[in-house]
A and B are shown apart, each in its own frame.
Chain A
Amino acid sequence: MEMEEKLSALLEKAKIEVNEAQDLKEIEALRIKYLGKKGEVTNVLKGMKDVSPKERPIIGKKANEVRDAITVILADEKGKLEKEKLEQQLAEETIDVTLPGKAVTTGQTHVLTQIIEEIEDLFLGMGYQVIEGAEVETDYYNFERVNLPQNHPARDMQDTFYITSDILLRTHTSPVQARTLEQHDFDKGPLKMISPGKVYRRDTDDATHSHQFHQIEGLVIDENITMADLKGTLELLAQKMFGKEREIRLRPSYFPFTEPSVEVDVSCFKCGGKGCSVCKQTGWIEILGAGMTHPDVLEMSGIDSKKYGGFAFGMGPDRIAMLKYGVNDIRNFYLNDQRFLEQFKRKG
């Protein structure tokens, strides 16, 4: 029985010592001290040779119980100490979460590009292609092919920067349409395109005029295209750009490359049509020009105007941006003042 008592005493001693352990290192030392190959439990068991064979199983069982108990005590204490250590570490790591974050500096898209991409996306969704053309063009493609021959009185409507008598800075993106029309294979389907880009006019720069600005023109040519289709398309555009509630109205106008030609007004997004300073008390704002493609324009591109027809429209992203954001000087778009451009960072 001597050994049994020794084992019990060993367990009691271990309990006290483990309880007094201060850190994980001491726990490990105690584990080696009691449970190691040369530890105290093993030590006690060395006396087994003096125990009677009958008692051996009893002692053996007791020894295992003590070993298990010490293991549990050690594990519990270790867990407790680990938890304390972690808590201490977390306490030490606490920071002032109200300090400012590290700045992430991103740039922003120019407001005109934002408008252009928005319009591109709308028309891409309706199956249009985006086609960009050259900014320097021939007189032939810029004027004659859009039904403005030499000496046509309407040429005065567009003052032009000439490079030579035949070469000029395009005054509208219409030459892109003329060039696309003559290449399009109608066996492969209708032509639906928009052409965004820079255009140039011989104007003195002031708050409302710029010698360089942007234009987006659209063109749809197929069999069975109607003016009603034009109206529906432009209604969608107006609602996308200026809000779901918008209505449009068409007024007679004149463009040499369309007939009938219309000017398109959108109901004022500021006052909703009651009249305000944005719409000059009319309730309507002029946003684009449009019409049914003139048969001569199609014939000049070798397209049978009896079979095919369609519509064209054109608008100015500069003007749209001015209206939409209340910008009152067009020169702001080309001055690239960061304080101006950064205002359009907000998308929501």
Chain B
Amino acid sequence: MRVSVKWLSEYLDLSEIKPVDLADQITLTGIEVDDVTLPALTLENLVVGKVMAAEKIPDSDHLKKTVVNIGKDESVSIVCGAPNVKAGQKVIVALPGVKLPNGLKIKKSKLRGVESNGMICSLQELGFSDSVVPKKAKDGIYILPIDAKTGHKALPYIGLDDAYIELDITPNRADALSMRGVGHEVGAILNQKPVFPEIMVSDDRTENVDEYISVSVEDEQDTPVYKMRIIKDLQVVESPMWLQRKLMNVGIRPIDAVVDVTNYIMLEYGQPLHAFDYDALNDKEIKVRRARKDESLVTLDGLKRELNPDNLVITNDGEPVALAGVMGGLTTHVTEKTQTVALESALFESSVIRKTAQSLNLRSESSSRFEKGLNTAVIEQALDHAAQLIADLGSGQVVSGVAKVETIQPEDKKVTIALDTINHTLGTSLVMDEVVQLMERLGFDTETSARPLTVTIPPRRWDIEIEADIIEEVARLHGYSRIPATLPKNESIPGELTPKQQLVRETRRFMEGAGLSQAISYALTTNEKAKAFSKHDADPVKLDWPMSAEHQALRMSLLSGLLDNVQYNVARQNKRVAFYEIGRVFHAVSDNKLPNEITHLAGALTGPRIEANWQEDEQDFDFYAVKGILEEWFIMLGITDEISFVPTQTFEELHPGRTAEIRWQNKGVGVIGQLHPALAEDRDLKETYLFEIDMDILLDAEKDTLIHAPIQKYPGTKRDVAFVVDETVLHDDVLSVMKQNGGKWLKAVKLFDLYQGNTIEEGKKSMAYSLTYQNLEATLKEEEVTADFEKLKTALVENLHAEIR
């Protein structure tokens, strides 16, 4: 809502306060101010000029040489390109030195050899937007009324000598969507009682509205109030300057005196009005009802609207003539030929208007006011004021009487509240008198004789209903700066992260210590990326109405997002990229249920793990570097013994020979592998390694309590074994044979050499392991170890056809 300070001064004395200070006070006590504009600051030197002569410049197709009188005997020569400039007009002249809002600085110049000492301005050049400029002034200079005083300042004529305060009105304060509402609000802030002019209708008693029209409503819920007045013997003229000026400056385009008055009254009272061309109605009955299926209406903008029973319509002779509260119909709208106007002022159910405006995409100043609620006390007052003004401006007459359906009466509300409740909620120590004074500033009557306090709320503040609303009014007018700052005094319970939250944090620190940086990617992605890398065989959760294909489905894996990040960085010369991400993936359950949200940990690594330096050669990330990070993480979680890595070829996005399913307690919980070289090439990536793990399942796992184990005092005995086996034999196969046949003293097995090549038969590999035997209770005897070791070697030969070396 854009508020003219001059207009506001019609209700309040604002002579003692600067507009910027007023704006500050409004922000701190009432409604947020977005912006204060003072156009006069830069446009001071615009004058009213009288065009004395305007002649075409011979060798130009549109330029004219004009002589403009700018007061007393002073005239200047100005070259003007506007098609509508003519001798005799009063115009707005910018003299050299003026800087226009578009940045143009006026200078003396010569055009086509003709001296130009200024500029005749259009409204757009003065900062008005195309959408508010009157249609006939759109393509040329703005022409002032003929009685404008030559040589005087031009700004007052177009309202630019004013200050404008842009209010950002929240949905609860729709009462301030009118100048009168703002008057009440600013009055409360400044502790002044606003004064509003009385409106008297001088109607023609020789006729009654009944002879012209009758109104009815189908449903009192939809239309609790519907009122109509008739204005006759009209001439539809252009609005006077004062009215055009007020409208343009708050963002509404002047059209004609009838439409302008309806807009003006809406701005003053917050009550939307609609004017029908009475002569275009077919009969004398207006009925408000829900639209029928298959009905349609051509609205003011010329578009044919298909209607349905969600829409409320104004009908005449059985046909819709307007979309209630949203937009009028084309056939009944006021034209310059209109002589009789039927003027509507009504209250429509907000949700019906909202639905219609939304479904037809027809939001307007009027529909949004219906949606947010109206001051029921001024429905008729606004109608009276508008009718009289239309009559005055168009030399017509208001027909006596109001045609109406009125099922509700504006009523005051009473809210009772104890002083204690106010002080308890705010942490203040206000006394009753202070509260009563604050209520008086708002114009609310109070009854203090009976405790608790009873506050009477007029209909103009329909947002106030409960104790908390009164507390809010007290708090803001008393001043938030005067509320003390304390801390809750309740019993203190220590706050702590849950063990799982703690582990998530430990995991972050661990991954960062291992050289991976945290990434945060978008959860919404393309349909394909949402599915990629996921073994969950359901479709991703998709948005009902996505804004773009890029963000239409919820990810089922973190890896696509991480790969995008890797690709982005590699494309920008970041050779080494190592990311981890902890985030949710989403698995659809069924149509009307919430999806499962699972927290995953994923990583993507490419490029040098160690960069070449004066001591070492470059070493790229490989499968085992990444696996080592995870193995260490499993140690941190205390689940190493329950983890296994099993070769898998089921991920089509991963290298079939370099991918393992990660299993915990023999359940698949994740994957580690190399990005499929074909996909890597598509993304211009070198070898890239990925992992992803269901973190929820691992962090939720029951763990044994950690108990310190004594440091071993009996030395272990070591034995090395080297052998040749088929290259298809896995390290895991060797381990399980050793575990099963190693005897009870075998405590640790470590691979220390793996070789394939020249000296080994093709299809075979040589492996060497170091074994540690240990008895926790006593020193082991050589013979015991030797016996077990021999058994183990035999088992390797028997089970794996190993050739011991």
Contact = CB atoms under 8 A, between A and B. Distances in A.
A110 interface: yes
B141 to A, nearest CB: 35
A157 interface: yes
A309 B427 CA distance: 13
B512 A254 contact: no
Nearest to A252: B476
**Complex A-B, nearest 7 residue pairs according to Cβ-Cβ distance, in ascending order:** A228-B427, A226-B427, A254-B170, A260-B472, A250-B480, A107-B517, A259-B468
A161 B523 CA distance: 13
A162 B592 CA distance: 12
Contact of A200 (B425, B493, B524): B524
Given A229-B488, A254-B171, A336-B568, 10 more contacts: A112-B520, A128-B495, A163-B544, A211-B522, A228-B486, A229-B489, A250-B480, A252-B475, A260-B475, A295-B468
B487 interface: yes
Contacts of A333: 520
A167 B592 contact: yes
Contact of A232 (B475, B486, B615): B486
B490 interface: yes
Interface in B570-605: 572, 574, 576-580, 583-584, 586, 591-595, 597
Contact of A204 (B466, B547, B572): B547
B172 interface: yes
B30 interface: yes
Contact of A336 (B498, B512, B520): B520
B611 interface: yes
Contacts of A235: 485
Interface string A292-334: 1011000000000000010000000000000000000000011
A329 to B, nearest CB: 15
Residue among B30, B544, B551 with the most chain A CB within 10 A?
B544
A162 B543 contact: yes
B476 A260 contact: yes
Interface in A233-278: 233, 235-236, 249-254, 259-263
B574 A339 contact: yes
Interface string A70-107: 00000000000000000000000000000110110111
Contact of A225 (B483, B490, B516): B490
8 contacts: A105-B576, A108-B518, A135-B597, A167-B593, A223-B490, A225-B490, A252-B476, A254-B171
Nearest to B372: A153
Contacts of B469: 259
A130 interface: yes
B543 to A, nearest CB: 5
Contacts of A253: 32, 170
B415 interface: no
A202 B547 contact: yes
Contacts of A334: 520-522
B354 A225 contact: no
A79 B610 CA distance: 45
A337 B572 contact: yes
Given A107-B580, A249-B480, A224 B489 contact: yes
A126 B493 CA distance: 9
Contact of A99 (B471, B586, B614): B614
Contact of A251 (B480, B520, B523, B565): B480
A126 B486 CA distance: 13
A127 B493 CA distance: 5
Contacts of B495: 123-130, 192
A279 interface: no
Interface of A: 99-100, 102-103, 105-110, 112-113, 117, 120, 123-130, 132, 134-138, 151-154, 156-157, 161-167, 169, 189-190, 192, 198, 200, 202, 204, 211-212, 220, 222-229, 231-233, 235-236, 249-254, 259-263, 292, 294-295, 309, 333-339, 341-342
Interface in B590-640: 591-595, 597, 609-611, 613-616
B568 A102 contact: no
Contacts of B544: 162-165
Contacts of A222: 488, 490
A294 B468 contact: yes
Interface of B: 27-32, 170-174, 350-351, 354-355, 371-372, 424-428, 466-469, 471-472, 475-476, 480-481, 483-498, 501, 505, 508, 511-524, 541-547, 551, 554, 565, 568-569, 572, 574, 576-580, 583-584, 586, 591-595, 597, 609-611, 613-616
Contacts of A295: 466-468
Given A102-B613, A227-B475, A333-B520, A136 B427 contact: no
Chain A interface helix/strand/loop/mixed: mixed
A165 B591 CA distance: 11
A315 B467 CA distance: 27
A233 B488 contact: yes
Residue among B468, B471, B515, B516 with the most chain A CB within 10 A?
B468
A260 B796 CA distance: 78
Contacts of A99: 614
A337 B519 CA distance: 9
A110 B582 CA distance: 11
Given A153-B171, A212-B524, A336-B579, A263 B32 contact: yes
B515 A105 contact: yes
A106 B493 contact: no
Nearest to A234: B485
Given A103-B611, A227-B475, A157 B171 contact: yes
A124 B497 contact: yes
Nearest to A161: B543
Given A226-B426, A253-B32, A336-B521, A231 B483 contact: yes
Nearest to B515: A105
B185 to A, nearest CB: 11
Nearest to A117: B505
A192 B484 CA distance: 21
B354 A100 contact: no
Nearest to A293: B468
B468 A292 contact: yes
A338 B574 contact: yes
Given A226-B424, A252-B30, A211 B542 contact: no
A226 B351 contact: no
Nearest to B564: A336
A166 B593 CA distance: 9
Given A151-B351, A212-B523, A263-B32, A107 B597 contact: no
B512 A106 contact: yes
B515 A228 contact: no
Nearest to B29: A252
A235 B493 CA distance: 21
B512 A109 contact: yes
A94 to B, nearest CB: 17
Nearest to A197: B584
A275 to B, nearest CB: 13
A310 B547 CA distance: 38
B335 to A, nearest CB: 34
Contacts of B593: 167
B515 A106 contact: yes
Contacts of A263: 32
Contacts of A107: 511-518, 578-580
Contacts of A204: 547
Given A166-B592, A189-B491, A189-B493, A337 B569 contact: yes
A113 B508 contact: yes
B481 A249 contact: yes
B487 A229 contact: yes
Contact of B597 (A136, A292, A339): A136
A211 B520 contact: no
B472 A261 contact: yes
Contacts of B491: 189-190
Nearest to A310: B488
A262 B480 contact: yes
A211 B565 contact: no
Contacts of B576: 105
A229 B554 CA distance: 40
